[in-house]
């Protein structure tokens, strides 16, 4: 069957079309993205602006048309932290439902972490042993750890690259003191949850998912995406520590010239790097692997698992 996953994230609205069957690997058929950066469209009350809501509705309608054109039988729509934490989130959901007939399922942060963990587990297999999975989104950081397909512990922290950029790094390039202040805050937030994970023991493999980790790995020397899904890509803490001060001294436009960095994500890359560096340091990770599957694939896999 042909499924469409409609992911209303903090950075993008992404429709992923896959050919999927129970017991088989989902095969990507088409990808449609629109960058809204909802995490940066909040007003002083923490609400998604009227312009943001109108753009979201228009983008969902466009994605539905693409899904129809591609022969999608069923669309699985969900929203993550930007809608979940907006003070007018319920109103936004009603507007989207009324104007598009799409009932967005708002995922809790812990559910995001668990579904992303499921995707990483299926991609790497049982031989990967105990997994620690890190995912940096636009609005939040998800961390999960476990031996099975359902992690033993999963948390979500409000440390997304888009959220932090909009709220803490207004300059371009950012002010040095702002960077220091954000670095301290990020590390303090992550340190609060480290003991929840370390009590389960040392992971056998550490995995990073999401665009942020892929871009950081690419600028640190990992293979280009054009070389395929099955090329192993890694990010070392040593390389990341070298890049953080360099990113801090660059403007967003200068970062676009780096390999693998898109214009839409260039402003957020420093904040994402600070979160990645802090997580790797506080969890004692020297090297992590980049996993191409993440939340969207987890949603698909969970749906297939529940088909009769």
CA distances from residue 245 to 172, 216, 239, 274 in whole angstroms, order as listed: 14, 13, 11, 10
Q: What is the pLDDT of residues 38-55, one digit of tens each?
A: 877 778 888 998 989 999
Cis peptide before 173 (omega within 30 of 0): yes
In a domain? residue 136:
yes
Confidence bin at 287 (pLDDT 50/70/90):
very high
Give the per-residue pLDDT at 41.
75
How far, in Å, CA of 248 to CA of 172, rounded? 9
Residue 120 has pLDDT above 70, yes or no: yes
Q: Are residues 123 and 67 part of one domain? A: no
Q: What is the pLDDT of residues 191-240, one digit of tens each?
A: 999 999 999 999 999 999 999 999 999 999 999 988 988 899 999 999 99
The count of structural domains within the chain is: 2
CA distances from residue 255 to 12, 13, 229, 258 in whole angstroms, order as listed: 20, 23, 24, 5
Could you write out the DSSP letters of every residue in 266-287? GGGHHHHHHHHHHHHHHTT-SE
In a domain? residue 86:
yes
**pLDDT over 90 for what percent of the chain?**
84
Residue 33 has pLDDT above 70, yes or no: yes
Is there a contact between 130 and 200 (Cβ–Cβ < 8 Å)? Answer: yes
Confidence bin at 241 (pLDDT 50/70/90):
very high
| DSSP letter (8 states) at residue 260 | T
Q: Are strands 27-35 and 74-79 parallel, antiparallel or unpaired?
A: unpaired
Give the per-residue pLDDT at 247.
97
Q: Are residues 139 and 277 part of one domain? A: yes
Q: Are residues 57 and 137 part of one domain? A: no
Confidence bin at 131 (pLDDT 50/70/90):
very high
Give the per-residue pLDDT at 17.
97
Strand, helix or coil for residue 202: coil
Q: Are residues 15 and 130 part of one domain? A: no
Closest CA to 135 of 215, 220, 224, 207: 207
Q: Are residues 162 and 233 part of one domain? A: yes
Q: Are residues 290 and 240 part of one domain? A: yes
Confidence bin at 308 (pLDDT 50/70/90):
low
Per the prediction, the chain carries an average pLDDT of: 94
CATH number, residue 61: 3.30.420.40
Give the range of the structural domain holding residue 62, as residue numbers without chain letter.
Answer: 2-106
Is there a contact between 183 and 168 (Cβ–Cβ < 8 Å)? Answer: no
In a domain? residue 183:
yes
Q: Are residues 270 and 152 part of one domain? A: yes
| DSSP letter (8 states) at residue 193 | T
Q: Are residues 122 and 222 part of one domain? A: yes
In a domain? residue 308:
no
Domain stop point among 57, 78, 106: 106
In a domain? residue 306:
no
Q: Are residues 77 and 121 part of one domain? A: no
Confidence bin at 146 (pLDDT 50/70/90):
very high
CATH number, residue 223: 3.30.420.150
Domain stop point among 87, 106, 125: 106
Q: Are residues 146 and 42 part of one domain? A: no
Q: Are residues 69 and 38 part of one domain? A: yes
Residues 21, 29, 138, 242, CA torsion sign: positive
Domain stop point among 106, 141, 163: 106
Q: Are residues 237 and 127 part of one domain? A: yes
In a domain? residue 307:
no
In a domain? residue 304:
no
Q: What is the pLDDT of residues 38-97, one digit of tens each?
A: 877 778 888 998 989 999 999 999 999 999 999 999 999 999 988 999 999 999 999 999
Is there a contact between 7 and 292 (Cβ–Cβ < 8 Å)? Answer: no
In a domain? residue 130:
yes
């Amino acid at each position: 069957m042909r499924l469409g996953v409609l992911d209303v994230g903090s950075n993008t609205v992404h429709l992923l079309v896959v050919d999927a069957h129970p017991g088989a690997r989902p095969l990507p058929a088409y990808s449609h993205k629109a960058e809204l950066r909802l995490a940066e469209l909040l007003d002083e009350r923490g609400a998604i602006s009227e312009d943001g809501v109108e753009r979201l509705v228009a983008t969902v309608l466009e994605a539905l048309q693409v899904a129809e054109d591609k022969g999608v039988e069923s669309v699985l729509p969900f929203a993550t932290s930007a809608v979940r934490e907006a003070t007018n989130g319920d109103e936004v959901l009603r507007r989207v439902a009324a104007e598009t007939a799409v009932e967005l399922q708002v995922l809790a942060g812990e559910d995001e972490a668990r579904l992303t963990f499921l995707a990483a587990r299926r991609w790497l297999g049982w031989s990967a042993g105990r997994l620690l999975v890190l995912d940096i989104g636009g609005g939040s950081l998800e961390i999960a750890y476990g031996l099975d397909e359902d992690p033993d512990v999963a948390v979500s922290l409000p440390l997304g690259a888009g959220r932090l950029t909009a709220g803490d790094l207004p300059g371009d390039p950012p002010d040095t003191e702002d960077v220091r202040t954000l670095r301290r805050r990020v590390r303090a937030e992550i340190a609060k949850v480290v003991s929840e994970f370390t009590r389960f023991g040392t992971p056998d493999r550490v995995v990073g998912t999401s665009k942020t980790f892929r871009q950081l790995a690419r600028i640190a020397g990992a293979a280009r995406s054009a070389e395929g899904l099955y090329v192993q890509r890694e990010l070392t803490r040593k390389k990341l520590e070298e890049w953080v001060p360099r990113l801090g001294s660059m403007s967003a436009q200068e970062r676009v010239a780096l390999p693998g960095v898109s214009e839409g994500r260039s402003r957020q890359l420093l904040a994402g790097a600070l979160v990645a560096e802090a997580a790797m340091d506080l969890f004692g990770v020297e090297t992590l692997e980049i996993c191409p599957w993440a939340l969207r694939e987890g949603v698909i896999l969970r749906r297939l698992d529940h088909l009769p």
